[in-house]
Amino acid sequence: MPDLVGLPEVERAAERLAGVAVRTPLVPFPGDGGLLVKPESLQPVGAFKLRGAYNAISRLGRRERERGVVTHSSGNHAQAVAWTARALGIPAVLVMPHTTPAVKVDACIALGAEIVYVDPVARLETAERLAAAHGLALIPPFDDPDVIAGQGTVGLEIVRDRPDADVVLVPVSGGGLIAGVAAAVKALRPEAKVIGVEPELAADARESLRLGHPVTWPAEETGRTIADALRVQRVGDLPFAHMRAHVDGIVTVTEDEIRLAMRRLARDARLIAEPGGATATAAYLFRKKELPPGRTYVAVLSGGNVDPALFQEVLR
C-alpha cells in the first residue's frame, strides 16, 4: 500500500497555487437548486490540470529547472506544463498523441513548448526516453503525489466554500483529480460522498474498482467517446490507491447525455465545458437515481477546451 496524499500536502499545494490558479467559485445551476458547478474551465489553461502541474514543477530545484521538463498528455496536462514552464522560465517538451484536438495542440505551441507527436500507445515510453536522454524532469499527468496534491486543492476549495456539500461528482480519466479531491473532501468532511463519473465508452475506472486492481481498456474502445480528455486507458496506480480508500462509487454517462449537459451548461449556466468536463454535470442531470441522496451536490467542470466545431454542433 503506497503512502496516500493527505490534507497537509493539499494545503501546502494551495499555498503554492495562491495567486497562480484562479480561485473558482461554486456556480448555482438553475433548476431545483441542488447543483453547484465548479468551473475549472476558468483556469489559465482552461482546465484543473494547472493545479497539479504547477504544484509539481514549482517543487523542482534550480538545476532541474535549468534542464527543463517533459510530459505526455492528450492535451490539458500538456497545456498546464507548458503554461507553468513559461511562467517559471523553464524549457518544456510535450509528447502528444497525434489524435489530440487541434485546439489543444495550438494552445501548447502558442505557449512556446516543443511538441513531439507519437502514437497514443507510445506516449509514456517516448516521454521516459526523452527524460533519460536529456536529463529532463518527467511531470506525470496523474500518477504522482505532487500532481495529486495540486488537484486536491479543488476539493479543499469546495468544502471551504460549502461545508454542507453532500455529494461531490468528479470526472475520472487517469484518476489524479478524483484522488486529490477525495483526499481533501474526506479529510474535511468524512460524511460527504465522492463519486467518479466516466463515459460508458471509457469506463475502465469503474471496472477497476469492481475488480480491485487497475484494468486497461484498449485505445480502440476508449477512443470512441467524444470526451477526449477521458480516453486514458488505465487509472494510475497511486490514484487507484486513493480511489479504493476514499471514493464511494463510479457512475457512467452516455455520449448523448454528455452532449446535452454541454448544451445545458452553456444555455443555463453560461459555462463552456469540453465533453469530459461536462460528465459530472451529466451525472447529476441524468443519473440522479444512481447517486447517493443529498441536498447539496457539487459537479467539477474539469475543463473547457472544446473544439469550436463540436461546441457549435452541441448548441444547435
Integer Rg of the chain from CA: 18
CB of 44 to a second copy, least distance (A): 5
Could you tell me if 268 and 30 are in contact, meaning their C-beta atoms sit under 8 angstroms apart? Answer: yes
Least gap, CB of 31 to a second copy (angstroms): 10
Reduce the DSSP state of residue 153 to 3 states and report it.
helix
Sort residue 141 into left (φ over 0), alpha (ψ -120 to 50) or beta: alpha
Regarding 312 and contact with a second copy (CB under 8 A), the answer is: yes
How far, in Å, CA of 89 to CA of 139, rounded? 16
Shortest CA distance to 283 belongs to which of 238, 232, 230? 230
**Closest of 46, 246, 74, 54 to residue 146, by C-alpha:** 54
Decide if residue 270 touches a second copy (CB under 8 A): yes
Smallest gap, in angstroms, from Cβ of residue 313 to a second copy?
Answer: 10
Please report, as residue ranges, which positions from 21 to 40 form the binding site for a second copy (by CB under 8 A): 22-28, 30, 39
Inter-axis angle of helices 255-269 and 308-315, nearest 10: 80
What is the distance between the alpha carbons of residues 69 and 171, in angstroms, rounded to a whole number? 26
Q: Binding segment for a second copy among 122-130, 196-204, 246-254, 302-310 (CB under 8 A)?
A: 302-310
Residue 49 bears catalytic tag: yes
Choices 4-12, 164-172, 213-221, 265-273; region in contact with a second copy by CB under 8 A: 265-273
Site string for a second copy, 110-129 (x = CB under 8 A): x-------------------
Our finding on whether 302 is near a second copy (CB under 8 A) is no
List the catalytic residue out of 49, 104, 186, 193: 49
The amino acid occupying position 216 is T
> CB of residue 304 vs a second copy: minimum separation in angstroms?
4
- The answer to whether residues 43 and 50 touch, using CB atoms and an 8 Å cutoff, is yes
Within 185-204, the residues that bind a second copy by CB under 8 A are: none
Which parts of 272-291 interact with a second copy (CB under 8 A)? 272
Query: Interface with a second copy by CB under 8 A: which residues?
Result: 22-28, 30, 39, 41-42, 44, 46, 110, 266-267, 269-272, 304-305, 308, 311-312, 315-316
